[in-house]
């Protein structure tokens, strides 16, 4: 079974445990109804960190959670005694104005997305609050800002 130190040595993002001074910051989620104490939080910097974290959790028999914007009311983005992949360092948004498409990093929020697309005069049907994660909302929400004129809400997957 791999150790935390072996995991740390393998990745570029910081691996934070209860012994670190910034543990409380690292384990905190935006939705303060959830207060959990994972064994380790990795602040993933790139895809290789995510792969390493999945392997570490699997090989150690630990629960694994993925955290985007941290808004989940049931606290699905974290856990007790397991591994949390914090994607908040992976917030890039790449806009292709010709195709009218955008690719968002796993930790991008709707604020990040709107900032990037606005520069091109583009927008899509995202969430109401800027700090909600793009991926989390798309997977587990999907109710978009309802334009006053439309009469009914749009869904994120409409656009």
Ligand X SMILES: Cc1cc2nc3c(=O)[nH]c(=O)nc-3n(C[C@H](O)[C@H](O)[C@H](O)COP(=O)(O)OP(=O)(O)OC[C@H]3O[C@@H](n4cnc5c(N)ncnc54)[C@H](O)[C@@H]3O)c2cc1C
Distances from the Cα of 28 to the Cα of 16, 86, 126, 159, angstroms: 12, 10, 24, 32
Interface map 70-89 toward ligand X (x if CB under 6 A): xxxx--xx---------x--
CB of 89 to ligand X, least distance (A): 12
Q: Kindly tell me which residue out of 13, 38, 69, 82 binds ligand X, with binding defined by CB under 6 A.
A: 69
CB-facing half-sphere around the CA of 141: CA atoms within 13 A: 25
> What does the alpha-carbon distance between residue 93 and residue 98 come to, in Å, rounded to a whole number?
15
Q: Are 156 and 137 in contact (CB under 8 A)?
A: yes
43-62 residues near ligand X, rule: CB under 6 A: none
Which tokens hold the place of 53?
A: 């974290």
Measured from the CB atom, is 9 or 48 closer to ligand X?
Answer: 48
Cα gap 9→15, rounded to integer Å? 9
Q: Closer CB to ligand X, residue 101 or residue 155?
A: 155
Q: Is 38 in the site for ligand X (CB under 6 A)?
A: no
Stretch of residues binding ligand X (CB under 6 A), selected from 7-15, 19-27, 37-45, 69-77: 69-77
Q: Which residue is nearest to ligand X (CB)?
A: 136
Stretch that binds ligand X, among 16-24, 52-60, 112-120, 128-136 (CB under 6 A): 128-136
Contacts of 25 (CB under 8 A, 6+ apart): none
Q: Which is nearer to ligand X, 6 or 25 (CB)?
A: 25
Task: Residue 138: name the closest of 121, 152, 155, 122 by CA.
Answer: 155
CB of 47 to ligand X, least distance (A): 11
Name beta bridge partners: 104.
93
Provide the binding-site residues for ligand X, judged by CB under 6 A: 31, 65-73, 76-77, 87, 106, 127-129, 132-133, 135-137, 139-143
């Amino acid at each position: 079974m791999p150790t935390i130190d072996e995991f740390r040595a393998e990745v570029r993002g910081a691996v934070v445990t209860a012994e670190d001074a910034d543990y409380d910051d690292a384990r905190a989620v935006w939705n303060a109804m959830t207060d959990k104490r994972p064994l380790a939080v990795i602040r993933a910097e790139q895809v290789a960190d995510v792969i390493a974290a999945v392997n570490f959790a699997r090989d150690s028999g630990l629960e694994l959670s993925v955290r985007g914007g941290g808004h989940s009311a049931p606290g699905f983005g974290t856990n007790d005694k397991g591994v949390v992949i914090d994607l908040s360092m992976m917030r890039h948004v790449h806009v292709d104005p010709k195709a009218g498409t955008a690719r968002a990093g796993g930790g991008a929020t709707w604020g990040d997305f709107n900032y990037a697309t606005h520069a091109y005069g583009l927008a899509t049907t995202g969430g109401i609050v800027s700090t909600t994660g793009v991926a989390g909302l798309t997977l587990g929400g999907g109710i978009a800002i309802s334009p006053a004129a439309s009469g009914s809400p749009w869904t994120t997957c409409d656009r």
